Each structure stands twice: as structure tokens, then as C-alpha cells.
Amino acid sequence: MGDKTMTAEDVVARLHNGMTLGIGGWGSRRKPMTLVRALLRSDVRDLTVVSYGGPDVGMLAAAGRIRRLVTAFVTLDSIPLEPHYRAARESGAFELMEVDEAMFMWGLHAAANRLPFLPVRAGLGSDVMRVNPGLRTVTSPYEDEWPFGEKGLGAEEFVAMPALRLDAALVHVNRADRLGNGQYLGPDPYFDDLFCEAADTAYVSCERIVDTAELTKEASPQTLLVKRHAVTGVVEAPGGSHFTSCAPDHVRDEAFQKHYASRPWPEFAERFLGGDERAYRSAVQAWHQERR
């Protein structure tokens, strides 16, 4: 219970080399970029990153922080393939476990429910099994008889998707209270609740911290995506998903995203990631002014 507010630097101080880190959001939508940038300013490396990837993966890969990546895709949405991720992957900078989107989701579900795996149909008949030779299949134990006296369901085979157990998770939402309850106001939850529940520790950044009563004042209870029991810390970070979108608070900064995608990583990092978050915002604002 109690006040769980902290700074982005406080969050990163709790992360360490070699951990498995889940990052919420989807592609270039509602990524916890303030926390990712704070991570990039630290010395934490050798990470296993679990993400429906976007610029979070691209930046961490370009900076050499990823040892292994578990993902279903890495995209900037309007730019189909994240270019910095692509360059790092083509150079063999990290190991990759690439799975179907549904397999990824059920891996999070398994971890959230403290199960070693869950059976899924997704992945069967595809190259997912070929490129991930460590994956196994299981057969339904109810081939002959369903325990409630009905006819058996047959010996159907499933992929045994292993649990995507996380040491820590980072997510970004529209609103949160100081206790750790998080609310999304956009069109999609992006499985951020599963990332938090699949992790030993979870850190939520938000556009604005509000009183608990305000979380349902103008929105339905169904928007209360992240529950406080699964949250370790809360960071107020207005614009904290920039340059990705965080509807309805702000849209994606498409112009800046194109700039990010077209610049060599050392050049981009030197100009925009050399200081703290305030310096980042000032550099972005100056860049937009230069374009006018």
C-alpha cells in the first residue's frame, strides 16, 4: 500500500545487468520511453528484453544493451521495420527468439499465472518451430474421455509456449495514482497488465498522477488496467512516451520518428540522449524549431 512514487532514475537504480526486462506498449505506441532513456543513461547491459518491439528495442539494440530479444515484431508502425533494430540484428549483436503474436501473449499469461507453459495452436504449421528448435509440443491428455463424462476431444497437438517470466517490467499509461493503479484512456491496453503481472517488479510511468477517485470520475472502471498489487513504483512523466503515441493525450511525433529512423545511431544519441530528460525535451524542441 502506501506511496509508490519515484523518479525514472530511482527505477533504473533497481535494475541490474543480465536481468530479463519486459517493456510494454506496442510498436511505436505508448512505449515507456522516459524510462528507456533513463536506462540508456545508465550502465545496465546484457539484458534479455521481452517486448512487442518498437523504438525501445531499437535504441537498446543500437546501444549494445541487449543480449537476447524475445519478440513478435519490432516496428515503428508507419515505418514497418525498426531500422536500428534491423542493423543490430544483421550484425549478429544479440540472440533472437521470434514467435507469433498470440504465442507471445500466452507466454505472458503463463508467467502472470505462475505456470511453466500454456498450450496454444499458434505456431503450428509455421517456421516458428523451425527457427525456435527449443520449443516443444504437448498432446491433449483428454483423448478418450472428458472428465465430465462427455466424449473425448481427440489427441490434438499444441505448442507448449513457455512462460515469459520477467525480473522487471516497464510500462506507460495515461493516468495513475500514487498507490500504483494505472489507467489507459486510448483504444487498446497493449497487454501492459500482463507485463506487470508476469514480473517480479513492475514500474509504471504515466502522463499524470491523480487522486484515486479521479481514475473513475470520467472513465469506466474497465479502463483501470494496472492494479496496484502488481506495481512496485510509479513515475509521473508527462510526454513520457515521446516520440511514440499515447492517445488521447498526444499523437506520435511522426516527423521526429522519421528523423530518428534516418540518422546514424551515434549521431542521434549524441544530440538527444547525452543529458537528462529535461535536456532531451529541450533538444527535441530545438530540432522542431530548426525545421520551421
Residue 267 within a domain:
no
Residue 92 within a domain:
yes
Sort strands 95-98 and 47-51 into parallel, antiparallel or unpaired: unpaired
41: which residues sit within 8 A by CB, 6+ positions away?
12, 273, 276
In whole angstroms, what is the distance from residue 107 CA to residue 190 CA?
14
Kindly report, residue by residue over 178-227, the tens digit of the pLDDT: 999 999 999 999 999 999 999 999 999 999 999 999 998 878 888 999 99
36 and 174 both lie in a single domain:
yes
Residue 264 within a domain:
no
Kindly report, residue by residue over 44-78, the tens digit of the pLDDT: 999 999 999 999 999 999 999 999 999 999 999 99
Q: Which of 252, 227, 72 is nearest to 164 (CA)?
A: 72
Backbone dihedral region for residue 46 (phi beyond 0: left; psi -120 to 50: alpha; all else: beta): left
Look up the CATH number of the domain holding residue 27. Answer: 3.40.1080.10
Query: Residue 55 is which amino acid?
Result: P
Kindly report, residue by residue over 233-251, the tens digit of the pLDDT: 999 999 999 999 999 999 9
Angle at 109 between CA 106 and CA 110, to 5 degrees: 90
Please report which confidence band the pLDDT of residue 232 belongs to, taking 50, 70 and 90 as the band edges. very high
Residue 161 has a pLDDT of 98
Sort strands 166-176 and 182-183 into parallel, antiparallel or unpaired: antiparallel
- Cα torsion 219, 222, 225, 229: sign: positive
Residue 146 has a pLDDT of 65
132 and 12 both lie in a single domain:
no
29 and 139 both lie in a single domain:
no
Residue 221 within a domain:
yes
Among 128-142, 144-158, 175-189, the least confident range: 144-158
Helix, strand, coil shares, percent, the chain, to 5: 35, 25, 45
Sort strands 47-51 and 66-71 into parallel, antiparallel or unpaired: parallel
60 and 43 both lie in a single domain:
yes
- For the chain, give the longest Cα–Cα distance: 73
46 and 125 both lie in a single domain:
no
43 and 158 both lie in a single domain:
no
Kindly report, residue by residue over 14-44, the tens digit of the pLDDT: 999 999 999 999 999 999 999 999 999 999 9
Q: How many domains does the chain have?
A: 2
Residue that finishes a domain, picked among 143, 162, 181? 162
- pLDDT > 90 in the chain, percent: 91
83 and 154 both lie in a single domain:
no
Backbone dihedral region for residue 180 (phi beyond 0: left; psi -120 to 50: alpha; all else: beta): left
135 and 155 both lie in a single domain:
yes
195 and 212 both lie in a single domain:
yes
Domain enclosing residue 133, as ranges: 118-162
- Cα torsion 11, 16, 21, 25: sign: positive
Q: Look at 202 and 154; give whichever has higher pLDDT.
A: 202
48 and 35 both lie in a single domain:
yes
In whole angstroms, what is the distance from residue 150 CA to residue 145 CA?
6
Residue 105 within a domain:
no
Residue 1 has a pLDDT of 62
Q: Measure Cα distances from 280 to 23, 117, 119, 243, 283 in Å.
A: 21, 41, 44, 11, 5
187 and 225 both lie in a single domain:
yes
Residue 258 within a domain:
no
20: which residues sit within 8 A by CB, 6+ positions away?
47, 48, 50, 165, 166, 167, 168
Q: Measure Cα distances from 120 to 1, 102, 139, 191 in Å.
A: 36, 8, 11, 17
Please report which confidence band the pLDDT of residue 149 belongs to, taking 50, 70 and 90 as the band edges. low
Residue 174 within a domain:
yes
151 and 171 both lie in a single domain:
no
DSSP class of 163 = P
